[in-house]
Amino acid sequence: MLASPKKNMKKLQLHNKTYSKVLQMHCLGVALVLMVFCLPSPTSSCTEQEKDSLLRFLAELFQDGGLSASWQNGTDCCKWEGITCMQDGTVTAVLLPSKGLEGRISQSLGTLAGLQYLDLSHNLLSGGLPLELLSSSSIAILDVSFNQLNGTLHELPSSTPARPLQLQVLNISSNLFAGQFPSAIWKAMENLAALNASSNSFTGRIPTQFCNSSPSFTLLDLRTKKFSGNIPQGLGDCSKLRVLRAGDNNLSGTLPDELFNATSLEYLSFANNDLHGVLDTANIVNLRNLITLDLGGNRFSGKIPDYIGQLKRLEEFHLNNNNMSGELPYALSNCTNLLTIDLKSNHFSGELTKVNFSNLPNLKTSDLYSNNLSGTVPESIYSCSNLTALRLSTNHLHGQLSLRLGNLKYLSFLSLSKNNFTNITNALQILQSSKNLTAVFI
């Protein structure tokens, strides 16, 4: 019930509001594409060349999800299912998500000169991703996520137009791509703002050119399980980067000081890697916009720095499964917007009374399992009336639980086992009035 975020997101569901907000901003905020959808029905038909390109795409599918009933050669392709055109009949969008399509993506789609939005997500498409789509001079949004595409991403051909490509959003997540992640491919994409390559099998190092070639880079998701090497220092040059996710890889080394120059970051996750070092750095205060900080599942050591209290917008704080130690700082009480504190499986010691939980009215999950915490459960924790999950098991806590335990009306999960509490019977009587409680470990 208190599992790490990775276990709850096997298919990249956009659970985090920051993450989804940023992706929507680029998918729905591409002005040209939005204008297309606001235009009235076209007064002209699509050209024979565009119709031929679409029919070639259809021909390479061996399961078309019923498209053939709509995509008839003798009809206007602007009226076909999933096709959007401008007033002059130019095809600007091919939107076919979740249609049960099987087969290959035809390179013919890359010949649609006015195509701005291509969405083939959540299908069963296989084979490679045609370079004609990546090198298109018109496509702004390309989404082929949740398919069975495989092979490698090749570098762009030398014949790629000299002018910058229009691609702003590229989502290739949840496929079977493998091999080295190409580096030079991004140099021609000066407008790229959001890249989601998660849930694939890319290997090698994370490229460093993202922000040098694309100054508007805002979202980067590289959770692929196989990236290795150090975190590129160049990510600190991403002045507009708001979401950076590179968890579930084999990254090593420390957090580079340059990373803290990316002051627009709202979501930062390097969970489940092999990173180490201490977090006691004043540079962390540069990330004042952070809403989610997830460094769980690494080898970080040392104390939680007092500087953490200056991250006033912080809502999700994950340092679970590391080698952290020392007392929990009072400064954590200054992060008044916290919803989740996940510090399980570390070596934290001292008393919980160091933290004034009364300052955390929004707290919903507090997981302090398997540490060396001592003392009694602080009275202030009963002020967190929105708590739904509290895990204090496997520590050295003692004493009785307060009658105020009954104030936690929304509590559904409570774990107190492997401590030295007394008068547990009294606690159980108090909990009888907790109607939402579904799991208790004592």
SS3 353: helix
Gap between the Cα atoms of 258 and 291, Å rounded:
20
Pairing of β 91-95 and β 83-85: antiparallel
Kindly report the number of other CB atoms within 10 A of residue 196's CB atom.
24
For residue 38, pLDDT over 90 is answered with no
Task: Return the sign of the alpha-carbon dihedral for residues 256, 260, 264, 265.
Answer: positive
Average pLDDT over residues 102-129: 96
301 token code pair? 């050591």
In degrees, to the nearest 5, what angle opens at C-alpha 35 toward C-alphas 29 and 40?
Answer: 145
pLDDT at residue number 28 = 47
The topology (CATH level 3) of 271-442 is 3.80.10
340 token code pair? 């989740």
User: Which residue reads 């929105």 in tokens?
Assistant: 386
User: Which residue reads 């977090």 in tokens?
Assistant: 279
The whole model's pTM is what? 0.88
Give the model confidence (pLDDT) of 265-306 as tens digits: 999 999 999 999 998 778 889 999 999 999 999 999 999 999
Q: How confident is the model at residue 31 (pLDDT cuts 50, 70, 90)?
A: very low
The overall average pLDDT reported for the chain is 87
Yes or no: say if 143 and 169 are a contact pair by the CB < 8 Å rule: yes
pLDDT at residue number 379 = 93
pLDDT at residue number 58 = 97
Average pLDDT over residues 210-238: 86
pLDDT at residue number 216 = 83
Helix ranges, 86-193 (H): 131-134
Higher pLDDT, 214 or 350: 350
Instruction: Output the DSSP codes for 366-403.
Output: EE--SSEEEEPPPGGGGG-TT--EEE--SSEEEEPPPG
Q: Which residues of 197-215 are buried (b: 16+ CB within 10 A; e: fewer)?
A: bbbbebbeebbebbbebbe
pLDDT at residue number 8 = 35
How far are the Cα atoms of 180, 205, 206 from residue 183, in angstroms, in the given order?
9, 10, 8
Of 388, 391, 384, 310, which is closest to residue 343 (Cα–Cα)?
Answer: 391
> Which range, 18-22, 70-74, 102-106, is most confident?
102-106
Higher pLDDT, 181 or 253: 253
Yes or no: say if 195 and 221 are a contact pair by the CB < 8 Å rule: yes
404 token code pair? 């105020």
Average pLDDT over residues 200-221: 84
Query: How much of the chain, in percent, has pLDDT values that exceed 70?
Result: 88
Q: How confident is the model at residue 15 (pLDDT cuts 50, 70, 90)?
A: very low
In the chain, domain spans: 12-218, 271-442
| Range 12-218 has CATH code 3.80.10.10 | yes
Of 97, 71, 84, which is closest to residue 33 (Cα–Cα)?
Answer: 84
pLDDT at residue number 403 = 86
Topology agreement, domain 12-218 and domain 271-442 = yes
For residue 94, pLDDT over 90 is answered with yes
